Amino acid sequence: MLEARLFNKEKTSLNLQEKILLKEEIKDKLRVMNASIICHYYVDGIVQDLAIESGGIVADSLEMARYGQRSSADILIVAGVKFMGETAKILSPQKKVFMVNNMATCSLDVGCSFDDFNEFCDNNPSRTVLVYANTSASIKARSDWTVTSSCAIDIVEYLASKKLPLIFAPDKHLGNYIKKMTGADILNWEGHCVVHDEFKSFELKKLSKNMPEAEILVHPEAPNSVIELADCVGSTSQLLKYSKQSKCKTFIVATDNGLIHAMKKSSPKKSFIEAPTAGNGATCKSCAHCPWMEMNDLKGVLNALGGNAEEIIVQNETSEKAMKSITKMLNFTR
Residues that bind ligand SF4 (CB under 6 A): 42, 81, 106-108, 134, 193-195, 221, 256, 290, 292-293
Given a contact cutoff of 8 angstroms between Cβ atoms, the answer to whether 213 and 291 are in contact is no
DSSP string of 181-212, one letter each residue:
HH---EEEP-B--TTGGG--HHHHHHHHHH-T
Q: Which range, of 49-57, 89-97, 119-127, 144-152, touches ligand 13P by CB under 6 A?
A: 144-152
Binding-site member from 148, 296, 319, 325 for ligand 13P (CB under 6 A): 148
Out of ligand SF4, ligand 13P, none, which partner does residue 194 contact, by CB within 5 to 8 A per kind?
ligand SF4
Q: How far is the CB of 256 from ligand SF4 (least distance, A)?
A: 5
Binding-site member from 48, 101, 105, 235 for ligand 13P (CB under 6 A): 235
Out of ligand 13P, ligand SF4, none, which partner does residue 149 contact, by CB within 5 to 8 A per kind?
ligand 13P
Angle between helices 259-266 and 45-53 (to 10 degrees): 60
- The nearer residue to ligand SF4, 81 or 141, going by C-beta atoms, is 81
**CA-CA distance, 158 to 174, in Å (whole number)?**
17
Tell me the residue ranges of DSSP E strands in the chain.
35-40, 57-59, 75-79, 96-99, 128-132, 145-147, 166-169, 186-188, 215-218, 232-233, 250-254, 271-274
- The nearer residue to ligand 13P, 188 or 236, going by C-beta atoms, is 236
149 binds ligand 13P (CB under 6 A): yes
Q: How far is the CB of 124 from ligand 13P (least distance, A)?
A: 26
Q: Which range, of 67-75, 147-155, 162-170, 305-313, touches ligand 13P by CB under 6 A?
A: 147-155
Tell me the residue ranges of DSSP E strands in 205-249.
215-218, 232-233
What is the residue type of 111? G
How many other CB atoms are there within 10 angstroms of residue 20's CB atom? 11
How many other CB atoms are there within 10 angstroms of residue 289's CB atom? 16
- The nearer residue to ligand SF4, 134 or 201, going by C-beta atoms, is 134
How many other CB atoms are there within 10 angstroms of residue 128's CB atom? 15
Out of ligand 13P, ligand SF4, none, which partner does residue 304 contact, by CB within 5 to 8 A per kind?
none
193 binds ligand 13P (CB under 6 A): yes
Out of ligand 13P, ligand SF4, none, which partner does residue 204 contact, by CB within 5 to 8 A per kind?
none
Q: Is 8 exposed, middle or buried (0-12, 13-18, 19+ CB in 10 A)?
A: middle
Q: Which residues bind to ligand 13P, rule: CB under 6 A?
A: 60-61, 134, 148-150, 193, 221, 235-236
